[in-house]
Amino acid sequence: MEVTLLKAKIHTVVVTEANVKYNGSITIDADLLDAAGIKKYEQVYINNAINGSRIMTYVIPGKRGSGEVCMNGGAALHAKVGDTVHILSFVNMSPEEADSYQPTLVFTEGNNQIKSVEKYNY
């Protein structure tokens, strides 16, 4: 048996672009992805703190240091430029592994730049 746990959360980023004509996904500054340990094409959930929308899509790495968070394709219908979103990734593991597991949290500040990277420690 496996359980699904939070792997990483990029907390409180601002959508910088919404491109409905793209084929889908979310483009995220590669520095944010590396800090969170999220891989290209990895499945993520996007929770919109403004309108309550929650969607699942996959990641495309954006330009490093750009602060880019671009909703692409159908995802662009769930968040507009300026909306605050949280990006979450999950992982499956055994209950034994889960007992000591700590997810990664990436906190941001102006222009979606990394403020701190922490581990959940509850």
CATH topology of domain 3-119: Barwin-like endoglucanases (2.40.40)
pLDDT in tens, 56-86: 999 999 999 999 999 999 999 999 999 999 9
Distance separating alpha carbons of residues 72 and 37, to the nearest angstrom: 21
Percent of the chain whose predicted confidence (pLDDT) is above 70: 100
Q: Among residues 22, 45, 53, 58, which one is catalytic?
A: 58
To the query of whether residue 25 is one of the catalytic residues in this protein, the response is yes
Write down the pLDDT at residue 121. 81
Give yes or no for a contact between 14 and 107, defined as CB atoms under 8 angstroms apart. Answer: no
Q: Among residues 25, 41, 45, 116, which one is catalytic?
A: 25
Q: Does the global pTM surpass 0.85?
A: yes
To the query of whether residue 58 is one of the catalytic residues in this protein, the response is yes
The three-class DSSP label of residue 37 is coil
Q: Which amino acid is at 10?
A: I
Tokens standing for residue 63? 């330009």
Give yes or no for a contact between 5 and 98, defined as CB atoms under 8 angstroms apart. Answer: yes
Q: Write the Ramachandran bin of 19: left for phi over 0, alpha for psi from -120 to 50, otherwise beta.
A: beta
